[in-house]
Amino acid sequence: MIVITGGAGFIGSAFVCKCNQEGITDILIVDELETSTKWKNLIGLQFSDYLHKEDFIAGILQGDYDGKVEAIVHMGACSDTTERNVDYLMENNYRYTKILAEWAIENKARFIYASSAATYGNGSQGFVDDYKSLNQLKPINAYGYSKHIFDLYAKKENILDKIAGLKFFNVFGPNEYHKEDMRSVVCKAHKQILETNELKLFKSYKEDYPDGGQKRDFVYVKDCIDIMFWLLNNKTVNGLFNVGTGNAKTWNDLGNAIFKAMDKKPNIKYIEMPESIRNQYQYFTEASITKLRKAGYDKSITLLDDAVKDYVTNYLVNESTLSA
């Protein structure tokens, strides 16, 4: 049995779909649905059972799953980069991961977990997934820190050679519709352009970057789940790995790709960035994926224009989810 935490969420449900496509259905989905609409991501997917995350943690601590789990793919976390309740983040993103990692190692189960590119902070230390430099990283928001502290714990306990951590960059694609403010710009922009025929992007407050010239490593969720499935089947490949394209693009590039996919003339307006996030804003992110390539992952990464076109034309039109 494979356990996928956050299995109804964005990347988690996409990975359930990938497993189904590969013939895997013996899956326990662990999540916390509450009033969210993410349950819709599970429609059409095949899995053995669903369990609330608190019940799953209790079962893990009681030994209910000893010897019954082949792998835990841990995508369950608070992914809100603006969350200010740090106790909540530490419980959900650090302690939860710590419990599952320790259990997986003790029970010889594969453990793959979601770290984040937010751990790199402002990028002054670069974006190389070499865990030897982990102590130099300085996240600029509580979310990033809550992810970073587990990476540090894994390094301190010398378990990074037994587990695989994924530093996701700017992921976009189907199954993110429930994320509200945390949806990708592609998802938000599609609706905005339909309603107003224009796209609003933040102005730049650094001379080195023109308005809309801030850069991000935008990666399609389909590429993410391909990497995750490869790691699931290559159990000796461990450590921290960036999950991105290795090729940063500007917000203007992204905006133009969206207009092109919608067969509309580009019309971008630049607006003031809220002061509350100006000091936490990343002007440049770009994943170094050399380590992943050296580990043996050789599948090509989808180009931005192609990924945006697939998302817009095959999913966003009807908010369609991934299906096996």
Residues 131-143 have pLDDT tens digits of: 878 999 999 888 9
- Model confidence at 103, pLDDT cuts 50, 70, 90, reads very high
Give the whole-angstrom CA distance, residue 285 versus residue 249.
9
Mean pLDDT score, 285-307: 97
Inter-residue contact 215 to 250 (CB < 8 Å): yes
Structural domain boundaries enclosing 28: 2-172+218-246+285-301
Residue 261 covered by a domain: no
Total structural domains within the chain = 1
Q: Determine the pLDDT at residue 74.
A: 97
Query: 83 pLDDT band (50/70/90 cuts)?
Result: confident
- For position 113, which CATH number holds? 3.40.50.720
In-domain check, residue 122: yes
Residue in 65, 94, 143, 145 annotated catalytic: 143
* Residue 239 near residue 131 (C-beta atoms within 8 A): yes
Q: Which of the following is catalytic: 40, 155, 162, 179?
A: 179
Q: Is 145 a catalytic residue?
A: no
Q: What is the pLDDT of residue 287?
A: 97
143 counts as catalytic: yes
Number of H helices, E strands in the chain: 11, 13
| 189 in any annotated domain | no
Q: pTM, whole model, 2 decimals?
A: 0.96
Residue listed under structure tokens 């590039």: 253
pLDDT band at 123 (very low <50, low <70, confident <90, very high): confident
Tokens of 100: 């599952």
The residue behind tokens 């989905």 is 29
Query: CA-to-CA distance for 293 and 280, rounded, in angstroms?
Result: 31
Residue 86 lies in a domain: yes
Give the separation between CA 313 and CA 251, rounded to whole angstroms.
20
Does 24 map to a domain? yes
